[in-house]
Chains A and B, each alone.
Chain A
Amino acid sequence: MNCSDVRDQLEAYIADDVTDVESMRIAEHLGRCESCAAAYERTRSVVADLKGISEAFVPRDRFVPHPAYGTGPAGGWVWRTIAVAASAVAIAAVGALSVPAIARELPFGVAKEFDALEDRAEDLQQQVDELTVRLEAIDGEQVAMVDTTPGDLAPEEAAAVQQLAMDFIRAQYAGDVAALEAMGTDRLKADLAARPGDYVREGAEGLTFAQMTEPALAEDGTYLIFVRLMDSGDWNESQYQEDFEIKLIDGRYLVDFMGMDA
């Protein structure tokens, strides 16, 4: 084997994609040819670096298959992305090292939750791998429910929070500002009065609840719930998310904050 043959095979040799005989001949040549050995070292280094980044992209949205329901395309099965950026599982998905960076991007209440979760990142990773998504009927709608904090809340407590979030969204799409006001705390009412355009939505015909997280209770008594949805407005191609902070005041669940998320 001459230098030209070896150079031609170098990439395949490094990728272990040559026959045993070729491999032996190349190794033998590299042992006695300084120039080819240097070329080998350069290619090997780039190849190693390339392999080193093959697992480096951690998607923010992960994929879970589940049965179609009503609005899904014909054919039986649809996919929905999970709102990982907003759910506790996201943090586990990227491992302990990435937790603070993500937590900083989230609302204060959520960030606090994540701080507490940091120590349990490894456990959570396990949970993410076994993440369960189930379909649940809420107010006559089949919604995919992401088990982020299973068992933390009493069922009726969780149901009340979920119901409120859905009612709020429906009122947004109905353009019913009075109803939104009635469902909000004073803080929300003030924001609603200042920026009603941030709350009212169009495209109600295509409103689809894609996914919802199990509500979580933060240390300060705020319930956090994230709802992923689609509508038939301008951006009907993609889902978006509404993040809710809900408080229990005088026995009534009220929305304290609603933010939109990608």
Chain B
Amino acid sequence: MEGYELVRRAQAGDARAFTTLVRHHERSLYATAYAITRSQWDAADAVQDALADAYAGIRSLRDPDRFGAWVSRIVVNECNTLLRKRVRVVPMEEPPEPQAFVWDGPEDGLDLMRAVHGLSPDHREVVALRYFRDMKLGEIAEVLGCPTGTVKSRLNRAVASLEAAMCPRTEEEVSR
């Protein structure tokens, strides 16, 4: 069944349709939340709360085709709420995190995720929405409430940082 039809059915109160819809999105939503919060459990909490909100509020979504961007926005907001809360917590040595996810990706993928975690919060956000949620510049701008040009320049800088982290250029290349 197409996303559009699933959203319509979920809006009509069909819990199974909503569940199916969530299955299509959950992995990339988790990846997004993990990129932003840098904590597996915060990410899991953020997605859980976001999906609860999405389910409660799905009738307010006017255009079913926009479900992906809409739920992304809810997840980003939940993540930022969590991050704000966390700032007030006195920092201390953190115990190693138990895993909220099972990794089902390439072996070196976690190195890349670590590189994403090394970016600034603004950059983590745009990278996650662009590549995990597969969103266009205009959609990201809408979700984040900032101009398209800002998203574009953040993305350019973020990708440049990732390139530097993942495949540092040789001096010869840099001097060109």
Contact = CB atoms under 8 A, between A and B. Distances in A.
Nearest to B100: A60
Nearest to B26: A59
A12 B31 CA distance: 21
Most buried by B among A45, A46, A60, A95: A46
A23 B47 CA distance: 36
Contact of B27 (A49, A54, A61, A95): A54
Contacts of B15: 64-67
Contact of A46 (B100, B103, B132, B167): B167
Query: Contact size class for A?
Result: 35 or more
Interface in B61-91: none
A45 B169 CA distance: 13
A75 interface: yes
Nearest to A78: B52
Given A57-B30, A65-B55, A49 B109 contact: yes
A77 B18 CA distance: 13
Nearest to B176: A35
Contacts of B18: 65
B143 interface: no
A42 B152 contact: no
A12 B162 contact: no
Most buried by B among A49, A50, A66: A50
A127 B52 CA distance: 23
Interface string B100-125: 11111110110011001000000000
Contact of A79 (B31, B48, B108): B48
A6 B130 CA distance: 19
A56 B163 contact: no
A262 interface: yes
Contact of A94 (B44, B104, B137): B104
B97 to A, nearest CB: 12
Nearest to B158: A11
Interface in B141-176: 152, 155-156, 159, 162-163, 166-167, 169, 173, 176
Contact of A43 (B47, B98, B159): B159
A75 B72 CA distance: 23
A234 interface: no
Contact of B112 (A8, A42, A53, A58): A53
Contacts of A64: 15, 19
A134 to B, nearest CB: 11
Contacts of A94: 102, 104
A102 interface: yes
A56 B127 CA distance: 16
B163 A43 contact: yes
Given A17-B137, A61-B44, A98-B102, A54 B156 contact: no
B23 A50 contact: no
A67 B15 CA distance: 9
A73 to B, nearest CB: 10
B136 interface: yes
A55 B98 contact: no
9 contacts: A15-B130, A42-B169, A43-B159, A46-B112, A50-B116, A55-B104, A63-B47, A95-B104, A102-B102
Closest 10 pairs between A and B when the two form their complex, measured CB to CB:
A56-B105, A50-B131, A54-B132, A53-B109, A57-B101, A57-B30, A58-B102, A79-B52, A65-B15, A55-B27
Interface of B: 15, 18-20, 22-23, 26-28, 30-31, 34, 44, 47-48, 51-52, 55-56, 98-106, 108-109, 112-113, 116, 127, 130-134, 136-137, 152, 155-156, 159, 162-163, 166-167, 169, 173, 176
Interface of A: 8, 10-12, 15, 17, 35, 38, 42-43, 45-47, 49-67, 75, 77-79, 81, 94-95, 97-98, 101-102, 129, 131, 262
Given A17-B137, A129-B23, 11 more contacts: A15-B131, A17-B136, A42-B163, A46-B162, A46-B163, A54-B28, A56-B106, A57-B27, A59-B47, A79-B48, A98-B104
